[in-house]
Amino acid sequence: MDDTLYRFQSLDTLIEEVHTLFDQWERSEHRPPAIALRTMYLVKLAVHEWVANLIQHASFHHAPPQVQLRIRPSGSDVCCMIADNSDGFDLQAYFETAPSALQAFPERGTGLLILQSCTEELSYERTSDGFNRLSFRVSADQDSWLSILY
């Protein structure tokens, strides 16, 4: 985990490649000692949920898919950026309407809510270079309801 920009061009192998990257960090000295495994788990979960939504729902009408990932340690926190060249969507509108539209014990539709619950400073914007950029921070001090998972 060294602030490298990772680039992916195949949606078919995207999740596998991202998970391999996290597995390498967890097994090696690449994870800074200040970053707790609990924090890395939340980062991995957040990245997975976003990438899974890209694969399942994103439209890449104008060009072949491109996804970029940057994960940067910041003290005991982790900052993350995921950019893609999909058509994008209105994430804020989703967050405003999704909780009220969910049924009890839904089988689908909770991924972005999980992403929101385990991150801080979450932002999503269209950039001038034609990419959509999701940025967030996972705090080592965060007391998320997701703590039941680890």
Helices within 30-88 (DSSP H only)? 37-57
pTM of the full predicted structure? 0.83
Q: Report yes or no: 68 and 18 within 8 Å, Cβ to Cβ.
A: no
Q: What is the DSSP string of 94-131?
A: HHHHHHHHPPSS-SSS-HHHHHHHT-EEEEEEE-TTS-
Domains (range + CATH), the chain: 5-149 (3.30.565.10)
pLDDT at 3: 74
pLDDT at 4: 86
pLDDT at 147: 47
| Tokens, residue 75 | 């003290």
Angle (deg, nearest 10), helices 14-27 and 37-57: 170
CA distance 55 to 150: 26
Q: Report yes or no: 130 and 61 within 8 Å, Cβ to Cβ.
A: no
pLDDT at 108: 54
In 3D space, the residue among 143, 3, 11 whose CA is nearest the CA of residue 69 turns out to be 3
CA distance 50 to 149: 18
Spell out, as residue ranges, where the chain has pLDDT lower than 70.
1-2, 29-31, 98-110, 142-150
